[in-house]
Amino acid sequence: MIPKVFKEVIDLGDGREISIETGKLAKQAHGSVVVQSGKCMLLCTVVSNYEQKDLDFLPLTVDYREKFAAAGRYPGGFFKREARPSDGEVLTMRLVDRVLRPLFPKDYHSETQVMIQLMSHDEDVMPDAMAGLAASAAIQLSDFPFECAISEARVGRVNGEFIINPTRAQLEESDIDMMIGASADSVMMVEGEMDEISEEEMADAIKFAHDHIKIQCEAQLRLAEAFGKKETREYPAEREDADLKKKVHDMAYDKVYAIAKAGSSKHERSTAFSEIKEDIKATFSEEELEDYGGLVSKYYRAAEKAAIRDLTLNEGLRLDGRKTVDIRPIWCETDYLPSVHGSAIFTRGETQALATVTLGTSRDANKIDMPSYEGEENFYLHYNFPPFCTGEARPIRGTSRREVGHGNLAQRGLKGMVPDNCPYTVRVVSEVLESNGSSSMATVCAGTMAMMDAGVQLTKPVSGIAMGLISDADSGKYAVLSDILGDEDHLGDMDFKVTGTADGITACQMDIKVKGLSYEILVSALQQARDGRLHILEKLTDTIATPRADVKDYAPKMVTVRIANEFIGALIGPGGKVIQELQKETGTTIVINEDPETEEGIVEILGTGQEGIDAVLAKIDSITFKPEVGSVYEVKVIKMLDFGAVVEYMEAPGNEVLLHVSELAWERTENVSDVVIMGDVFDVKYFGIDKRTRKEKVSRKAILPKPEGYVAPKPREDRGSRDNNRGRDNRGPRRDDRKRD
């Protein structure tokens, strides 16, 4: 039976299209679609169990995987099978999850899986830009309780013109790379990197993407209508008790408000809030707590959130006593660790990051091997968030998705300021030692100072700040919060992180939890973020104003030279013998890469001692030495032969040439040792390749004055006739003739 296929096509406005198709594949899933643009195809399936979990959160898993077969490639490594997701796949999962999760009902706790797979790859299509569209389209075909259709789109800007879902080639020329997630009514997520753009330009890019997302949402609704919109499933609603809710609110609100207004530290505040909660629970009997304990905790959290939000909206005060625009106290220090190439501590309030920098060669670049992209990064940042930084003890099970995402944000904020001519591969590692509000932005600040401490010539220093928003739709009040705390992150309506220089934004990450946020509020928040960012930047430059002029004494120095392609083999030597011995003798690391455009060899020399680097450069000069015809060079005798002396060019040790006995002096020379001996240093003239011997010819006598009355010796007798008498014709019968006889 041929399945009936339903399809909708989205016009991107420049000749490109995106199609959404269902009815052919994965029909046992609760919803499945194939999204295609060009030759790129994504299969998305969604399934949600009908049993509710006994949890207070939605157990949602968003999984994005790229199949190597989609690009006609084999997975790397020993086992030819896709294994754990790459960082690129994890980042795409996070982009989709952050938009989907808030649109499920808060009381929906069924295990839900969204699985997106790249099934066919197109070099001109970036698949992550369509992942959000695929996820939402599949959910629209299901019976999930989901608020509304959403989509995600990438925005680039080339020559001042915005482009929706640009190709990778266009992105290389673009000064903006932003992913925007939105419904038809509201922008919900923004993430990306920029080339020092203004706040207004960022808002314009968001508007441009939102206009295209509205079209994509309409296409999903049309597909669902044609397919047959399913009735939304029923599920057990969470237990509610209005009287209990009011009772807990009345008992908690004023007390929480007073503690919040006191402006205490995180630990003191947390302890005081816990005591209020325990006091409320103590008013109930054991039987009541057994029956209503979960509701009491839930209603207490709601009262606490309401009190803290009201404090900020009514009085402009925050949990730690600051006003909305205040930044917590900052202290910084560089060159803290004595053995690393660069280090810095950045502490803002109760958030602290220690960043280290390691300098290396191109061999240390971060290799990226994905079906949709192959390449390498010469600047990369890793972010670690151990449990002790929040005063917790919990198992450590590898790098979390959060650590990958926060590290990527900090990396995007900094990488534009690493100059293209930086000879090193630069690795920054951020160790978060304390956390109470935006450790990723602390990482940006610590990373900036650590690279400057390491002698990386950053174009401009970069700082970052985390912002929040509390708003009340009924009263129209809102408050933008600078440098938010961890608690403010959870109770606010928007949290966004912005990094930048004094001249513009370099990266951002924004999650908007309130519907219909106006662009005026958005721009206002971005402007306030700029003021805070510049304040923090001033603290950084007070600590270290400019990058060190050079790397530290114990850090490796890098020298890069280019050599002609023909000399690469001589520098490497048979089986790598020459380069290996050279590295061992000089204590350096030598890496040779080939420039595909010029076919030259790019030699990277990394070493802590200048003597070793100079020795390598001298060896390269020796290997690549080419004497010029007619020039005079100083040489040294290194070997005596019966028919001449082997001499070595003084300016290119290791380059040898035969000085024939006939070129030693104008007089006839019977013994070489009559004219020169081992170790003699003198000048010779270079004549190039001798046509008769086809070997290099040098002469000592050519630069000596001719003796008075000198008569050139007669040329040797031509031996050609004797040689001709030895020809084939005089050797007797040829083989064929003998055989014939």
State the pLDDT confidence band at 486, using cuts at 50, 70 and 90: confident
Distance, in Å, from the CA atom of 210 to the CA atom of 204, rounded to the nearest integer, reads 10
pLDDT at 26: 93
Domains of the chain: 6-227 (3.30.230.70), 242-315 (1.10.10), 330-392+399-543 (3.30.230.70), 557-624 (3.30.1370.10), 631-703 (2.40.50.140)
pLDDT for residue 728 is more than 60: no
| Res. 719: pLDDT tops 50 | no
pLDDT score of 289 more than 80: yes
Provide the H-helix boundaries in 354-463.
401-415, 439-454
Mean pLDDT computed over 273-285: 92
CA distance 323 to 335: 33
The mean per-residue pLDDT over the stretch 64-86 comes to: 89
Question: Mean pLDDT across the stretch 36-43?
Answer: 96
Share of the chain above pLDDT 70, in %: 96
SS3 for 427-443, per residue? EEEEEEEECCCCHHHHH
Q: For position 301, what pLDDT does the model report?
A: 92
Q: Which amino acid is residue 63, in one-letter code?
A: D
The pLDDT of residue 716: 47
Angle between helices 401-415 and 439-454 (to 10 degrees): 50
Q: Is the pLDDT of residue 427 over 50?
A: yes
Q: How many residues does the chain have?
A: 741
SS3 700: coil
The mean-pLDDT minimum among 209-213, 220-224, 442-446, 472-476 falls in 472-476
C-alpha torsion sign, points 370, 374, 376, 379: negative
Q: Is 495 annotated as a binding residue?
A: yes
Under DSSP, is residue 125 helix (H, G, I), strand (E, B) or coil? coil
Gap between the Cα atoms of 298 and 277, Å rounded: 11
Across-strand partners of 132? Answer: none
Q: Which residue has the higher pLDDT, 714 or 597?
A: 597
* pLDDT attached to residue 407: 95
User: Which tokens is 449 given?
Assistant: 């100072």
Cβ neighbours for 550, distance < 8 A, ≥ 6 positions apart: 455, 557
Contact, 558 vs 606, CB < 8 A? yes
Q: Is 107 annotated as a binding residue?
A: no
Taking only the tens place, the pLDDT of each residue in 90-130 is: 999 999 999 999 999 999 999 999 999 999 999 999 999 99
The overall average pLDDT reported for the chain is: 90
Query: Distance (Å, rounded) from C-alpha 189 to C-alpha 152?
Result: 9
Phi, psi of 174 (to 5 degrees): -85, 150
Question: Which residues make Cβ contacts (< 8 Å) with residue 187, sequence separation at least 6?
Answer: 180, 181, 206, 210, 512, 517, 522
Note the pLDDT tens digit of each residue in 577-608. Answer: 989 999 999 999 999 988 888 888 999 999 98
Share of the chain above pLDDT 90, in %: 63
**CA separation for the pair 402, 404 (Å, rounded):** 5
To which residue do tokens 């000089």 refer?
586
Q: How many CA atoms lie within 13 A of 694 on its CB side?
A: 0
pLDDT at 713: 65
- Which band of pLDDT confidence, cut at 50, 70 and 90, is reported for residue 715? low
For range 355-382, the mean pLDDT:
92
Looking at residue 714, its pLDDT comes to: 63
Q: CA nearest 638: which of 624, 649, 628, 630? A: 649
Q: What residue type is 430 in one-letter code? A: S
Per-residue confidence band for 731, with pLDDT thresholds at 50, 70 and 90:
very low
Structure-block tokens of residue 491: 């109770």
Centre a 10 Å sphere on the Cβ of residue 251 and count the other Cβ atoms it contains: 19
Tokens of 683: 């000048």
Query: CA 575 to CA 553: how far, in whole Å?
Result: 33
More confident residue, 493 or 77: 493
- Please list the residues that pair with 517 across neighbouring strands: none
Burial class (CB in 10 A: 0-12, 13-18, 19+), 354: buried
Per-residue pLDDT, 739: 44
CA distances, 81 to each of 62, 114, 372, 374 (Å): 21, 22, 16, 17
Q: What is the predicted pLDDT for the residue at 14? A: 86
- How many Å is the maximal CA-CA distance in the chain? 131
